[in-house]
Amino acid sequence: MFEAAELGRKISKKDFDKEEPELHTRLLAVQRALRETPIPVIIIVSGVEGAGKGQVVNRLNKWLDTRGIETTAFWDESDEERERPDYWRFWRRLPARGSIGIMFGSWYTRPIINYVYGRIDDSEYERQLHRISKFEHMLFEDNALIVKFWFHMSKKDQRKQLEKENKDKRYSPLLKKFSKRYQQFAAASEHAIRLTDQGVSPWHLVEAVDRRYRDLTVGRILLESLENKLKDYEAAKHRHRGAKTAKQPTAETVTVLDHVDIEQTISDKDYDRQLKKYQKEFYKLTWAAKQKQRSSISVFEGWDAAGKGGGIRRMTAAMDARLYKTISVAAPTDEERAHHYLWRFWRHLPRAGYVTIYDRSWYGRVLVERVEKFAREEEWKRAYQEINDFEEQLHEAGIVISKFWVHISNEEQLRRFKEREKTPWKAHKITDEDWRNREKWDDYTLAVNDMVTHTSTSYAPWSLIPGDDKRLARVEIVKAACRRLEEALSKD
């Protein structure tokens, strides 16, 4: 594959100077147009050591308006990064819509290095590459433009570069180290490029020996990619407007919720005894998890007034306040809106040993966004897969995931709404929106059924909590949280 990038292509200074002004001007124009769109642009700068990736980054920063570009070098890893799932460090640096992120080093770097140094085997390497291609696909579906550059030079040219740097006494720690394994890197990279060279995020192999050729090629490719993306976006805008789905989901007769026995109750005595028992157990388990550096995530979803808040408080009351964080998911901020819908949840992932509780969560995508048609059908349908992938990554990073759907009957909800309206410190909890949501009970039932069906996995199962008896629900929640944590810790 790389032979195609060892052809000795060159561009003279004269030709470069002739072409650069127009390229520069057009890049700026297209960057300006980009600003008004929901497109985040990701430029991946990678390739062999010594190919001048840093120079390319500098050149791009010169050609483009620096307001609206962010360059990130994925290099030293911090412990905040190390203590979270691998991709956390990438998520936190993804560019916002309308802006450009230059990734110097990327999600490719580590798999390739680990493979070359024999730290992962063939099948693990393929699995990681497969994850990359799914990740890029997901970003693409969210309007991202991904432009991937691979800068190549032959072994001979790399050696020349190394000698030159030695002569200039320029300190470049990786070149020396990596050049010893040129062939292995070439083979591993070729494999990575092959497996991830997809239509939604194609690779561009660039010959890197001649600086002018290299940079001009990058400029041309980037310009073309941006211009095409903007054209596609304009065209798609009109298509979507027409194609708004009119299809209505129809309520099936039996859903998973019908199997939740909401008639169960618990006596006062049992409530006090059991709650205390499980809270005590939970207290110990969360400390044990802290010591073993295992994080947890609890997700709470449920009908309005089902008692999510009460359940959460029974959990948090049983934890050291230093260990947990509760995230109440409300309207996104503008920084959040400017990213993929999962970005705001990645942000809050706990460090090793800590607990994050999400009061409502990413499941909004397949619940309210589906029912209220904030998300298009293809968007919420592919969300099941995206969410499963997301949770799988959490699981692989050792995070224990508990998910609760707190279920109540339609009649019980009505009773609680009315009661809340009468209680001074609860009245604020009932809004017109809650009454409107009630009218969509059947739509939500179907959405919940689909959600549980698609996203109850071995590593992140749903617990359906019977909620008509509030106190029973609380006991069940703390108990289920104990079981999940206990099970996870016992496997260490």
**Cα–Cα separations (whole angstroms), residue 158 to 1, 49, 322:** 17, 8, 52
Decide: 351 and 83 in contact? Cβ < 8 Å: yes
Tell me, residue by residue from 431 to 450, as one string, x for binding to its own copies by CB under 8 A and - for no binding. --------------------
How near is the Cβ of 105 to its own copies at its closest, in Å? 8
Residues numbered 360-419 forming contacts with its own copies, rule: CB under 8 A:
none
**How far is Cα 47 from Cα 14, in angstroms, rounded to an integer?**
27
One-letter amino acid identity for 314? R
Of 29 and 236, which has the nearer Cβ to its own copies?
Answer: 29
User: Is position 309 an interface residue for its own copies (rule: CB under 8 A)?
Assistant: yes
Residues numbered 81-120 forming contacts with its own copies, rule: CB under 8 A:
104-105
Of 349 and 446, which has the nearer Cβ to its own copies?
Answer: 349
How near is the Cβ of 151 to its own copies at its closest, in Å? 13
User: Is position 167 an interface residue for its own copies (rule: CB under 8 A)?
Assistant: no
**Of positions 3, 4, 14, 76, contacts its own copies by CB under 8 A:** 76
**Of positions 3, 7, 13, 79, contacts its own copies by CB under 8 A:** 79
417 forms beta bridges with none
DSSP-derived letter for residue 355 is E
How near is the Cβ of 381 to its own copies at its closest, in Å? 29
Structure tokens at 165: 């740097």
User: Is position 322 an interface residue for its own copies (rule: CB under 8 A)?
Assistant: yes
Of 24 and 212, which has the nearer Cβ to its own copies?
Answer: 24
User: Is position 282 an interface residue for its own copies (rule: CB under 8 A)?
Assistant: no
Sheet containing 462-466: give its strands across.
324-328, 355-359, 296-302, 400-407, 462-466
**Of positions 36, 54, 232, 410, contacts its own copies by CB under 8 A:** 54
Of 167 and 238, which has the nearer Cβ to its own copies?
Answer: 167
**Of positions 46, 71, 154, 402, contacts its own copies by CB under 8 A:** 71
One-letter amino acid identity for 203? W
**Binding segment (CB under 8 A) for its own copies, from list 120-128, 223-231, 256-264, 315-323:** 315-323
Give the chain's count of helices (H) and strands (E). Answer: 20, 10
Structure tokens at 201: 């995020």
**Binding segment (CB under 8 A) for its own copies, from list 162-170, 216-224, 246-254, 471-479:** 162-170
**How far is Cα 38 from Cα 125, in angstroms, rounded to an integer?**
33
What is 11-53 written as a DSSP string? --HHHHHHHHHHHHHHHHHHHHHHTTSS--EEEEEEESTTS-H
**Cα–Cα separations (whole angstroms), residue 175 to 62, 111, 119, 153, 391:** 25, 18, 20, 13, 37
**Cα–Cα separations (whole angstroms), residue 149 to 137, 361, 410:** 17, 35, 55
Residues numbered 170-229 forming contacts with its own copies, rule: CB under 8 A:
170-172
Per CB under 8 A, residues contacting its own copies are 21-22, 24-25, 28-29, 32, 53-54, 57-58, 61-62, 65-68, 70-73, 75-76, 78-80, 104-105, 168-172, 280, 283-284, 287, 309, 312-313, 316-317, 320-323, 325-326, 328, 330, 333-335, 351, 359, 424-425, 428
